[in-house]
Amino acid sequence: MIIEKHEDRCFKSCSGHSYIRKNWLGSIVFPFSALLQQSEFSDQIDILERARIFTKNCKALFPKRRITTTVFNDEGIQILVIRYIKALNPPQQLLDMFLHDSNARLDLVAHFVSLIPIMPEALDENNGFDIWMTSERCISLAIGNKEEHAILLCNFFLYFGKKALVLLGTSVLEGHVAYVLTQETDEYLLWNPLTGRCHKQFDPFCPLQGVDCLFDGENVWFNLQQNNSPMAVYFDYSKESFWKQLLPKNYQGTKTQSIQVTGFPIQMPYTDVQSVIDAVYQTGIHSSEFPQTEFALAVYIHPYPNNILSVWVYLASLARHQ
């Protein structure tokens, strides 16, 4: 609410007066995270430290296997790799093709990702520090490294409702690689994002030689199985004896919170109390979908001559979002 003070300007011969006008702002949204910045920063430090210890422990078990838990984004901020995984709709031209053939659409999307130029190995060397772009950035620049190709393909598959994860491992032909693992009804498929080809888990011609770790939008899993050949790996990462997970189950993480404040005024002539109550209910402000919503209400009545009353009702709802 903004309170403004106005003064009428007139010649000295006439009288003047001042008055105050209240203006109600309809709706504002401000980040609640600003109020919790210090605590969220501490939580983020704890997560990064947990990731560092996890990586160290995994390397102690299998020094030659790859494990990546955090990377730097294109702004130089260190974040968990799981932050890169989210459903992303492919270009509309691809969606319009093979509308009634889901398998053909997956093959087409995989082929599309394989056409994105690969970043030269020399440019991808950052003195041991991994720098990854987001999938949107990868598409806009039309270039990406191996991991960015896999993340992009994984995000496209998630859009189609597939159960997909990024797989880091080694290949006979390419050395360190990033594949996409999809879980089908009775089998697992391994997708090479650089070629667009799909291999079944027990395909003897699959160039993937070793499975080191998996990650999706919720967790990172390190392969604890002695034999990490794709045909020998048990891909059920819920088995703790086979896979070591970074974050505990049902971990929510530190998500940005915000409070959405919505408010508006009601102005009406006063007849009776019930009419005012009915007007408030008709706004529907009470029918919030969020159980923790809070409400505020203020009433102002301005009297006029002959017992004429003007009623102002100010309503506001405050809903906290994750």
User: Can you give the pLDDT of all 322 residues of the chain as single tens digits?
Assistant: 444 555 555 555 555 555 555 555 454 444 444 434 444 454 477 889 999 999 999 999 999 999 999 999 887 889 999 999 999 989 888 888 887 888 899 999 999 999 999 987 655 555 557 899 999 889 989 999 999 999 999 999 999 999 999 999 999 888 999 999 999 888 999 999 999 999 999 999 999 999 999 999 999 999 999 999 999 999 999 999 999 999 987 766 544 344 456 666 888 899 999 999 988 888 777 776 566 677 888 899 998 888 889 999 988 777 654 4
The phi and psi torsions of 9 (rounded to 5 degrees) equal -100, 130
Its sign, for the CA torsion 161, 165, 166, 172, is: negative
Q: Are 65 and 223 in contact (CB under 8 A)?
A: yes
Distance CA(108)–CA(116), nearest Å, equals: 13
Buried b (16+ CB within 10 A) or exposed e, 256-289: eeebbbbbeeeeeeeeeeeebeeeeeeeebeeee
SS3 52: helix
Distance CA(130)–CA(103), nearest Å, equals: 33
List the alpha helices (DSSP H) in the chain: 37-61, 92-95, 102-114, 135-141, 146-159, 273-282
All domains of the chain, ordered by start, with CATH? 39-245 (3.10.620), 257-321 (3.30.1660)
Which two structure tokens, joined as six digits, stand for 126? 């950052």
